Amino acid sequence: MTRELFGTDGVRGTANTYPMTAEMALKIGAAVGRFFRKDSSAAHRVVIGKDTRLSGYMFESALTAGLTSTGMNVLLLGPIPTPAVGLLTTSMRADLGVMISASHNPAVDNGIKFFGPDGFKLSDEAEMEIEALVKAGVEPAQSRNIGRAKRIDDGRFRYIERVKSTFPSGMRLDGIKVVIDCAHGAAYKAAPEVLWELGAEVITVGTAPNGFNINQACGSTQPRVAAETVVAHGADLGICLDGDADRVVLIDETGAVADGDQIMGLFAARWAQEGRLTGNALVATVMSNLGLERFLSDKGIGLERTNVGDRYVVERMRQGGFNLGGEQSGHIVMTDYATTGDGLMAALQFLAALVQSQKRASELSSVFQPVPQLLKNVRFQSGQMPLEDTSVRAEIARVESELSGRGRLLIRKSGTEPLVRVMAECEDEAVLNTSVDAIVSAIEAVL
């Protein structure tokens, strides 16, 4: 069966455009409710969180209608980070967790992510079964078995306490000045509160959501304002989250940005030295820089690569018993603490290293020299399949042959947006640029 609804991270698209319509959200809610409510005699519950997009109200209502129609009791958490939904799904003994968010995408987009009762994202197989139920239609529960919906007011505070518990006991952030950029997203209250309660001097950016400004000129994908704020205030560290706070990039005291590869490299090296890196390996995706792989190899640490998507990273971590993984984009997964990427938890681990080492952020956040890497995106329209074109395939083969032995090439369709991502790595930057541009031009020529 071909997946039509689900991408690499749930269902995602432009709000009020298929598949992200209220009608589809109701059908998806009913289908996932039927999938998890297999014992009709038992009470079942689902927790729903969302970020700050205006369309979140619409999808929250539609999903609630669909879920309650199949007998699921719905607990509404309101604006809360994605990792908090994974956490509360297990702590509240729910059968299912739902997060309404399009993560780092613009405000016009939205998405629906699902967590199983173990707090982990659903497998491809489960999503395919749910998709089949959406297509087939779901018979609603009998009227006496319709579910209830209830607001949960303390979800954010439960999450805050869990996040703080991952910080070393007795350690404080007194005297440390931190800029926190919440991207006007789901962590706009929780993240500053955590840092303040641990003793940091907190300077906030992106904490005034209005329904339309999530990820707009701020957050992990656009850290310029946060970097300028770090330098202007003489801060020790900048933390940039994305719209649902499951990814992070860090900014040192000079304003330089450290991506997920640098953060994972630091954690892997420290954890290995401390004897707590299970499997003596890091799990990352094919997008992670070759420089990270070389750095880990020099330290005798393995690197397990997966397809792009934090869910695939987590799957490999669970299969191999690894406890550290993530993506270059800033998803840092630490299964000792959480079931999915948590930007705030990762930032606290970095701050702990900052306190323990008594070093500056710039000394900790650049652990390897990246191999020059270039990524360009080409947007396409629904129904177009540029990677199937003969001329594009021929150009990709030519560039691969040219890069052989000198670098690597990765071409893929995004699982969250209608984009073809063209990425290459090569020590020779002139070759790097011409290689990527040649493939981009070939794709654009057939669109």
pLDDT tens track for 269-279: 999 999 999 99
Give CA–CA dist 102/24, Å, rounded. Answer: 16
Q: Catalytic residue positions?
A: 103
What does the CA dihedral 331, 91, 349, 160 come to, rounded to 10 degrees? 100
pLDDT score recorded for residue 41: 55
Given strand 96-100, what is the order of strands in its sheet? Answer: 6-7, 10-14, 109-115, 96-100, 45-50, 73-79, 149-151
Compare 417 and 53 and report the one with higher pLDDT. 53
pLDDT score recorded for residue 43: 72
pLDDT score recorded for residue 415: 73
Give CA–CA dist 233/395, Å, rounded. Answer: 49
What confidence tier does 318 reach under pLDDT thresholds 50, 70, 90? very high
Summary mean pLDDT of the chain: 95
**Backbone phi and psi for residue 232, each to the nearest 5 degrees, phi listed first:** -60, -35
Q: Which two tokens stand for residue 370?
A: 């990246």
Classify burial at 233, counting beta carbons within 10 Å of its beta carbon; exposed 0-12, middle 13-18, buried 19 or more: middle
What confidence tier does 39 reach under pLDDT thresholds 50, 70, 90? low
**What is the tens place of the pLDDT at every residue in 131-168?**
999 999 999 999 999 999 999 999 999 999 999 999 99
What confidence tier does 405 reach under pLDDT thresholds 50, 70, 90? confident
Q: What is the mean pLDDT of residues 220-241?
A: 98
What confidence tier does 193 reach under pLDDT thresholds 50, 70, 90? very high
**What is the tens place of the pLDDT at every residue in 214-227?**
999 999 999 999 99
pLDDT score recorded for residue 62: 98
Decide if pLDDT at 42 tops 80: no
**All structural domains of the chain:** 6-153 (3.40.120.10), 158-256 (3.40.120.10), 260-344 (3.40.120.10), 373-446 (3.30.310.50)
Decide if pLDDT at 1 tops 70: no
Q: What is the mean pLDDT of residues 104-130?
A: 95
Q: Could you tell me the pTM of the whole model?
A: 0.92
pLDDT score recorded for residue 3: 75
